[in-house]
Chain A
């Protein structure tokens, strides 16, 4: 079976989207959104990361479910590291 070949147009479109994301995140940082500042920043970064993974890294077109499983596993264990560490730091001041 042959690999999926994306069009140059698609690559350029994704690139433009990434550029727009970069500008958006700089602009968003300069507005006071309170607690939403880091959330917006991470949401934009994650959107950009997903675009890169899906299109530049061809995960959208892979015939292999395993690749997706591998990515999800990594994110899961990374979140475990963060969540359980913060379970300590977040509750140290509780009485």
Chain B
């Protein structure tokens, strides 16, 4: 069978093997599916980002003057739903995980390539439902769908939004299932559990959460939809139902969902820090165990979102205590990344800059998480901008930094082209500065008492200065995010051809051509080395950098 590439005489890769829309939409190649996801995810990132900018612009002045109150409520609701369910949760696993996991473990594909494609279609169907929700007037439940507001009191598109979340949840479950089976069943000979890159361990832990947690939020959301459609009364207080039960079921997933977002990021950072320090990861086993520990203990802490919601005093004590348990493995990770750099040979390529940013911002995000776990403080700062700042430090400061770092690190492998290093460093700097300017003032705002989801704060003009700083930061952040988008696209056409291993990195993905061929490996690899064997890789003095 002559392939498209052979006719033109190029080396055959997964990109040029076949051309045409059909060859993409019906592909079962995990690398092509990863790129399909990349398109969807980038689209939703900018949709959600656009909503965020409008929110920030509205808050520039205390009065509600840019948009109407209802519109504002829809903006933050859809910002949350789009970002959480259509960007943060799928981004790293479905793009980088999809692309890299089979290669990293020496497999030709995921265990269920067709289910992988099905996941993407479900994601797109969920995404289209979300777009329909937005275009047909939006939804203003808050991303949390709290009852009875969502069930009894709103007449916006709650059901289609719920359906969008439900369908995308299915996609997430199938991705997790695929990863677990792949990691268990498809490892190449010699690729033992102790030799897996931490990126793979991170996705394994993430997949466990996806598989165990997502169904619970799915049923909670379905019950909300059933209450609206058929007037079932499971959370309805006027029938004696308890709205807090919805919150329990919602947070049983949605707290661990934070770890779905951050664990893959931790995996990326481990890869990058090792590569650019030319070192093995410090404390490999502790790092792998910490990932699993976070995934498991992360399931025991959900009600810390409900300390003022009216739960029992004693339940609050238990959940506060358990929340501190999850702090320990997170601390271990930060200390180990830092120690990995000790006596290394550190270079400051763009991915490493993002990794530095991740470590710093994740530290702040994690430490402020300890404030929220602390019962006495949480009462004051929950549902204020303190919480908003905290989770943006984890999700945007942590996860998005890691995602961008990973995109830069593996872009040469994915596209076969180098991105412009100078622009990359500039963008990393802009993102870091813009991020801190946007979100650090919000910690102070929160402690001063500014509640979240407020459209109008004309009663409290003292909040304005910090809001202005935050909005200013958001514009810098927006530029920082647009830049990579532009130069990645630019590099696909004009970028310097990437060598197979531009960073001299360890790992199976760097031993195959850039971009890889459709089946990744000519022959099944046999692994005889530990992960991050940088001491065995001869260091290239000339690191190729495209300008």
Contact = CB atoms under 8 A, between A and B. Distances in A.
Q: Do chains A and B touch in the complex (CB under 8 A)?
A: yes
Interface of A: 66, 73-74, 77, 80-81, 84-85, 87-92, 94
Nearest to B212: A77
B228 interface: no
Name the interface size band of chain B: 10 to 19
Nearest to B301: A84
Contacts of A66: 184
A74 B312 contact: no
22 contacts: A73-B208, A74-B212, A77-B299, A81-B252, A84-B302, A84-B303, A84-B315, A84-B318, A85-B245, A85-B248, A87-B314, A88-B248, A88-B303, A88-B311, A88-B312, A90-B312, A91-B312, A91-B314, A92-B312, A94-B312, A94-B313, A94-B314
B47 interface: no
Interface of B: 184, 208, 212, 216, 244-245, 248, 252, 299-300, 302-303, 311-315, 318-319
Nearest to B311: A88
Nearest to B184: A66
B300 A84 contact: yes
Given A77-B212, A92-B312, A94-B312, A87 B318 contact: yes
A77 B315 CA distance: 18
A81 B300 CA distance: 8
Q: For the complex, would chain A's binding face be called helix, strand, loop or mixed by DSSP majority? A: helix
A66 B193 CA distance: 14
B21 to A, nearest CB: 39
B390 to A, nearest CB: 22
Pick the most buried of B208, B248, B252, B312: most chain A CB atoms within 10 A of its CB.
B312
B309 to A, nearest CB: 10
Contacts of B303: 84, 88
A91 B315 contact: yes
Nearest to A85: B248
Contacts of B319: 84
Contacts of B216: 81
- Residue of A77, A90, A94 contacting most chain B CB atoms (<10 Å): A77
Contacts of B315: 84, 87-88, 91-92
